[in-house]
Chains A and B, each alone.
Chain A
């Protein structure tokens, strides 16, 4: 298939603009990123600057790849990262618009690459259980109900890609933050630090410049791991409970 690509370029000789590229003979079995690889090889052959985009595992688990494709983070397929999106979902003659994830808290580094280190700082604020190496008791000393463990896993499946922020009109990081709060709040091991954790993580989230949640739920719709917005509700409850308990971050 032959495609027209409108791609955001920023940095180097580009001040920040869409540049249009034609790409012919795209194979339907290619992944979306392999399609961009082919375009970059062509640009390099013409001694042009290749397009910077981030990627690594190409198996949908590392959370490195991003891109807003035709207005949707990670493109049109439900529960799918950009690296797992394949060209068989496109047609000959299509025009595809490709942008970086856009949010104040995710500054653009170059072209389609943004800085998502704000997420790391939210985790550093409290997204962990404080247990030093060697302090643990026997693993089976803490039975955890299977469904409860499974709910914790569902929240822990977050890959930290930032699609939730890119999808949100307010660029809110509530889904990301609440997934970690939920993962740890649902487990008995997380109980001790439960109140302090939620307050500290939300304080950091606000400090990073992410917006507020206004229940649009686009985050859930675009999340490649289908993390549920029920985690946001849980985080709100945790936050209220911790606040009423007089806890401080």
Chain B
């Protein structure tokens, strides 16, 4: 395979195929080595996670004839957090005849990511986006339709076309169920073995290659060894490092972080997406935050009172003239549909200026009164009914009558394990797909692109690229788990479990997680600065020390013990949090979701430094007490001209 290195670091080779951007994927597919059907039967692949990326990859690899094992900490693969995605999935179908194309989706994604994503990967994503919709419809995913029976679309932030396919406000659910059903079919056919209630706690390397995992059976507490010729991490993002986020309660970084400690470099850990429209925090007991889909900004208008004297008034008492529709004022070209990073920062700016509403002053209005007047209540209900209901259940307010109150919250992590064009990490034979990798969204992800990327990786990218590596494994034979490497990895896991339970301190796991989250939100959240980040690194180091000396984990290791699971995950978050702050501190620029207060334009927009920071930061683990080592993959834009991002 002819490959061109774009890395400035000799150890980082993204293996991007030759040729113009628009032809790379076709070229690649035409030349990638294949594994014949009789050999696929002799190749074992382990997939960790059963969300969109994991389930689609497992089903597709099973269909191809590989022996697949899937591990999930849930009781069923259908529970994965992809299920909670609401708004939609992008695809360059141009069914609306509104000027969309593969190029435009590619361009919007690169621009939306503030020119910090890899061109070749993003173009491939845009190319396969159309196949995803075909595949999902064939599986029976009930997308929204028009009266003529054809598929309907809507708009999402950061685009000027309607390319988002949706299934009411439950698109993630329907796509995941589609992938889950495809996976279930392979389980029934015997090509995939499903290990529910199993958590991967380490990867095992033999002669520098990933050869398997150590997993804990969460019901019995037993540790298990599983060998394979390749391992794929589809384990989602790490937003729960902030404690409060829109992620599900069990979403965690453990699989990715354990792989990182074994040699998989972590790409752009500081790139976090703060979603502008979430239900605001209401109390100390709060366990998570709830997203209100971005699709609401198609028809909802964001505003705050012009005068801070009005913030405690009932919104109905504030006349039109005294309202500031700040997004429409500042960004007339995109209005309420600016990308997420921009909408979030704008909400924060208003609240910081004392214009925030609600009990805490940390909320803005999202108002549907105009939409109801224009479209009628029935249409609004048809489009957003389930979201309005969810809002009312949580807050007790009826959004048909009173504007929603919303505030930004942690939602997605663009950073993740560094992968090359083939989605392989820096450990040979270890892959990362979906939100778990860093590759496609740069410094900010556009709405409805996470579902697209998860399914692109699983259905259409990995099944091709993994063959490139596995074609060299056909003579390897079965992987034995009775080797010194597996012995050692299992012992390491067991020691750490004993250590966690052995502390028998005074503070709960939850209390540590909450404290970590507060440090991260205050100092590595929507706005960051060097002084705060330095402070955060010290605070997290101290907190980690305190954790390992004073945490209390009840129960035994050899039983169903959710507190033990949580303790392991929080211990990993404590290490990751520190790396995120290191990354945010070193990146002396603002880009996308990474906003450093020292680097902004006169009117408060992110100020990039393309001369010094147009690279992917890939961090190498150097040990518990050592500073991580930075490696750089320089980003080269051949197709797109890099400019100051503007949505005005």
Say whether B248 contacts A57, CB under 8 Å. Answer: yes
- Compute how far the CA of A67 lies from the CA of B389 in the bound complex, rounded to whole angstroms: 22
Cβ of B81 < 8 Å from any Cβ of A? yes
- The contact of B287 among A48, A58, A156, by CB within 8 Å, is A58
Q: How far is the CA of A149 from the CA of B152 in the complex (A)?
A: 12
Given known A88-B396, A129-B139, contact A49–B84 (CB-CB < 8 A) = no
Q: How far is the CB of B550 from chain A (nearest CB, A)?
A: 13
A116 CB contacts on chain B under 8 angstroms: 75-76
Q: For the complex, give the distance between the alpha carbons of A146 and B149 in Å.
A: 6
The CA of A9 and the CA of B145, in the complex, are separated in Å by: 48
**Hey, which chain B residues are within 8 Å of A77, CB to CB?**
393
Chain B residues near A45: list those with CB within 8 A: 508
A129, B135: Cβ atoms closer than 8 Å: no
Q: Which of A59, A124, A144 has the largest number of chain B CB atoms within 10 A?
A: A59
Bound-complex Cα distance A130 to B63 (A): 11
Among A80, A115, A124, A150, point to the contact of B393 (Cβ < 8 A).
A80
How distant is the Cα of A187 from the Cα of B140 in the complex, in angstroms?
7
From B250, B389, B396, B552, A56 is in contact (CB under 8 Å) with B250
Most chain B CB inside 10 Å of its own CB: which residue of A27, A133, A142: A133
- Overall SS of chain A's interface: loop
Q: B413 → chain A, closest Cβ, in Å? A: 17
Binds B, one of A33-41, A91-99, A208-216, A234-242: A33-41
Residue of chain B at shortest CB distance from A88: B396
> A12 contacts the other chain (Cβ, under 8 Å)?
yes
Contact indicator A44/B552 (Cβ below 8 Å): yes
Q: How far is the CB of B143 from chain A (nearest CB, A)?
A: 8
Check A69 for interface membership: any CB of B closer than 8 A.
no
A47 located at the interface, meaning its Cβ lies under 8 Å from any Cβ of chain B in the complex? yes
Which residue of chain B has its CB nearest to the CB of A44? B508
CB distance from A147 to the nearest CB of B (A): 9
CA distance A62 to B63 in the complex (A): 26
A62 contacts which of B83, B131, B181 (Cβ < 8 Å)? B83
Interface core residue of A48, A57, A156 (most chain B CB under 10 Å): A57
The answer on a CB contact under 8 Å between A115 and B142 is no
Using CB atoms, name the residue of chain A closest to B556. Answer: A12
Cα–Cα distance between A80 and B60 once the two chains are bound (Å): 35
B61 closest partner in A (C-beta): A133
8 Å CB contact of A136 from B81, B137, B150, B291:
B137
Per-residue A-contact encoding for B71-106, CB less than 8 Å = 1, 0 else: 000111111110110000000010100000000000
- Assuming the contacts A88-B396, A140-B150, asked whether A129 and B140 have C-beta atoms less than 8 A apart, the reply is yes
Task: Digitize B312-329: 1 where CB-to-A-CB distance is under 8 Å, 0 elsewhere.
Answer: 000000000000000000
Stretch at the interface among B184-192, B364-372, B520-528: B184-192
Bound Cα distance from A113 to B592, whole angstroms: 42
A60 contacts which of B76, B145, B286, B390 (Cβ < 8 Å)? B390
Compute how far the CA of A84 lies from the CA of B392 in the bound complex, rounded to whole angstroms: 10
Shortest Cβ distance from residue B214 to the other chain A in the assembled complex, whole angstroms: 22
Q: Assess the B135–A57 pair: CB atoms within 8 A.
A: no
Q: Is the CB of A139 within 8 A of B133?
A: yes
Check B134 against A145 for contact (C-beta < 8 Å): no
Partner of A134 from B131, B142, B181 at Cβ < 8 Å = B131
Q: In angstroms, how far is the closest chain B Cβ from the Cβ of A131?
A: 4
Out of B80, B140, B144, B510, name the residue touching A190 (CB < 8 Å).
B140
Whole-angstrom distance between the Cβ of B327 and the nearest chain A Cβ: 25
Q: Name the A residues within 8 Å of B555 (CB-CB).
A: 12, 49
Q: CA–CA, A138 to B390, complex, Å?
A: 34
Question: B450 to nearest A CB, angstroms?
Answer: 15
Interface-central residue, B74, B142, B143, B290, by most chain A CB under 10 Å:
B142
Measured CB to CB, the residues of B under 8 A from A are 56, 59-60, 63, 74-81, 83-84, 93, 95, 131, 133-140, 142-151, 167-168, 170, 172-174, 177, 180-182, 184-185, 187-188, 194, 196, 219, 248-250, 282-283, 285-288, 290-291, 389-390, 393-394, 396, 459-460, 463, 508, 510-511, 552, 554-555, 559-560, 562-563
Q: Could you write out 7 A-B pairs with CB less than 8 Å apart?
A: A27-B285, A62-B79, A84-B394, A110-B560, A129-B138, A134-B459, A137-B138
